[in-house]
């Protein structure tokens, strides 16, 4: 029973959620809605556990007096401080200030760094280590050239060829990739529904 019950529950809930998408019935809609709400509530509790794990890991680092104890201390102060400001009743201006003037700029800074990381990654990928990299480099340089405003002046065929490359081989490749992902997603979901995979049991 200990083994069978989770399988019946998981497969049953999965099946009901699937039917909720396909069948317009008030009864199944209500069950589907309740299941979705249940997932949100469970995910919220899992998030609390995750935050406790974060606090415990950094608490231990702080206590261990290691090299990065200052950073761990800062993280804990920020975590507890933001939490306190969030639960205190009131207009929430302090929380909005933290969000607008600390969180958002930090996010923007990290995102801006992506441009530099992308350049480094592209440099690595374009080193001619194999034929794949050579094709990638050749096609990228050609498309870069074909999309320049003055490419038409070099040759009238250049922009047209660039457009053809994007519209035919690139789109075909993307569609093939998406079809593969869709099939993989469907089969993975069916594996859980049929209890071939039981991720809820750690298997």
Partner 1 sequence: MIQALGLGSDVLAVLAMLLAVAGILAFLTLRYAARPSAPLRRIEAWERLKELANRAAETAQPIHVALGAGPWEGLPIAEALMGWVALGYVARRAAACAQEALVTAGDGVLWAGAQGILNEARRQAGIIVPTALPEVRFSGPDPMAYAVGAVETARDRPCTAHLLAGHFGPEGLWLAQAAAQTGAPRLGGTADALTGALLYASLDEAVFGEDLFAAGAYLDQPHHLGSLFTQDLLRSVIIVLILGGTVLASLGLWG
Q: Provide the binding-site residues for partner 1, judged by CB under 8 A.
A: 18, 22-25, 39, 42-51, 53-54, 56-57, 60, 68, 71, 107, 110-111, 113-114, 117-118, 120-122, 124-125, 174, 177-181, 183-194, 196-197, 199-203
Identity of the residue, 56 or 100, whose beta carbon is nearer to partner 1 in the bound complex: 56
Minimum CB–partner distance for residue 9 and partner 1 (Å): 15
Tell me if 10 sits within 8 A of 3, measured CB to CB: no
Minimum CB–partner distance for residue 122 and partner 1 (Å): 5
Tell me if 13 sits within 8 A of 31, measured CB to CB: no
Identity of the residue, 26 or 89, whose beta carbon is nearer to partner 1 in the bound complex: 26
Q: Which residue has the tokens 């750690």?
A: 202
Minimum CB–partner distance for residue 190 and partner 1 (Å): 5
Identity of the residue, 58 or 158, whose beta carbon is nearer to partner 1 in the bound complex: 58
**What span, in angstroms and rounded, lies between the C-alpha atoms of 58 and 71?**
9
Minimum CB–partner distance for residue 17 and partner 1 (Å): 11
Identity of the residue, 48 or 87, whose beta carbon is nearer to partner 1 in the bound complex: 48
Closest by alpha carbon to 16, among 28, 3, 25? 28
**What span, in angstroms and rounded, lies between the C-alpha atoms of 166 and 49?**
46
Minimum CB–partner distance for residue 150 and partner 1 (Å): 27
What region does 198 belong to: left with phi over 0, alpha with psi -120 to 50, or beta?
Answer: beta
Identity of the residue, 107 or 155, whose beta carbon is nearer to partner 1 in the bound complex: 107
Q: What is the dihedral of CA 170, 173, 175, 180, to 10 degrees?
A: -160
Identity of the residue, 88 or 194, whose beta carbon is nearer to partner 1 in the bound complex: 194
Could you report how far apart the first and last alpha carbons of the chain are, in Å? 17
Tell me how far apart the 2 most distant CA atoms of the chain are, in Å: 75
Minimum CB–partner distance for residue 20 and partner 1 (Å): 12
CB atoms near residue 176 (< 10 Å): 10
């Amino acid at each position: 029973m200990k083994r069978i019950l989770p399988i019946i529950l998981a497969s049953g809930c999965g099946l009901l959620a699937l039917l909720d998408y396909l069948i317009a019935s008030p009864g199944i809609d209500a069950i589907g809605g309740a299941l979705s709400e249940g997932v949100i509530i469970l995910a919220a509790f899992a998030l609390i556990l995750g935050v406790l794990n974060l606090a415990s890991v950094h608490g231990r680092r702080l206590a261990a007096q290691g090299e990065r104890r200052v950073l761990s201390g800062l993280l804990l102060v920020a975590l507890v401080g933001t939490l306190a400001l969030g639960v205190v009743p009131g207009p929430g201006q302090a929380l909005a200030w933290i969000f607008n003037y600390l969180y958002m700029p930090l996010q923007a800074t990290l995102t801006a760094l992506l441009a530099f990381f992308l350049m480094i990654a592209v440099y690595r990928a374009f080193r001619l280590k194999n034929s794949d990299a050579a094709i990638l480099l050749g096609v990228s340089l050609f498309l870069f050239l074909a999309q320049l405003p003055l490419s038409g002046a070099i040759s009238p065929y250049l922009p047209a060829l660039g457009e053809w490359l994007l519209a035919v081989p690139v789109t075909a490749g993307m569609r093939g990739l998406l079809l593969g992902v869709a099939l993989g997603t469907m089969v993975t979901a069916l594996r859980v529904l049929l209890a071939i995979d039981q991720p809820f049991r750690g298997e």
